Amino acid sequence: FNHGIITGALFLLVGVIYERAHTRDLSLFGGLSTKTPHYYGLMMVAGFASLGLPGLAGFWAEFFTFRGAFAIVPYWAAFGAIGIVMTAVYILWRIIQNVFLGEYDPHKLHHWTTVYGEEADGPTDMALFEKITLWPLVIGMFVLGIYPTFILNYFNGSAVSILAYIQSLYS
């Protein structure tokens, strides 16, 4: 459930910038945090939720996964934790630094449009309909990150049944 909210928001956010720049080449971007502050803020929340930052929806999935994995196969769990750290480093370095905090160079990317297809001098921030689409997902990330029992109670019965079935196969 959390994955669907977070990944859905990330795909929508990629679509927001693609509609304006018409490229997926990250090396062409830079300085978007000053040009598109609303986009930057929403992308940071969704990105950090995807990494499992405490207080956001992705944290609980990471927490329960690693809690269970460390109890059964600690070496593989440690390997997975290293992978998460490497992913965080990549995201922080490549995306945040190069795309958002780097210097904006208008000569790198010559063709910008608004979301409506009109020519623009540079990147434009999100339109109202884009914000309205994304804000419920971002609010959901915070709600499920702060109050996870809201959704955990819903799935608990199914998880217990599946676990009992799996345990019966090995006993």
- Helix, strand or coil, per DSSP, at residue 119: strand
pLDDT in tens, 63-83: 888 888 888 888 999 998 899
Burial of 40 (0-12, 13-18, 19+ CB in 10 A): buried
Q: What is the pLDDT of residues 131-142, one digit of tens each?
A: 999 999 999 999
pLDDT of 94 strictly over 80: no
According to the model, what pLDDT value does residue 126 have?
Answer: 95
Residue pair 104/34 in contact by the 8 Å Cβ criterion: yes
User: Which tokens is 40 given?
Assistant: 């930057």
Tell me, what's the pLDDT at 133?
96
Average pLDDT over the chain, rounded to whole?
89
The larger pLDDT score, comparing residue 133 to residue 93, is at 133
Distance CA 167, CA 164 (A): 5
Confidence of residue 130 (pLDDT cuts 50, 70, 90): very high
- Band of pLDDT at residue 37, cut at 50, 70 and 90: very high
What is the pLDDT, as a whole number, of residue 17?
A: 92
How high is the pLDDT of residue 115?
86
Nearest CA-CA partner of 124 in 108, 107, 111: 111
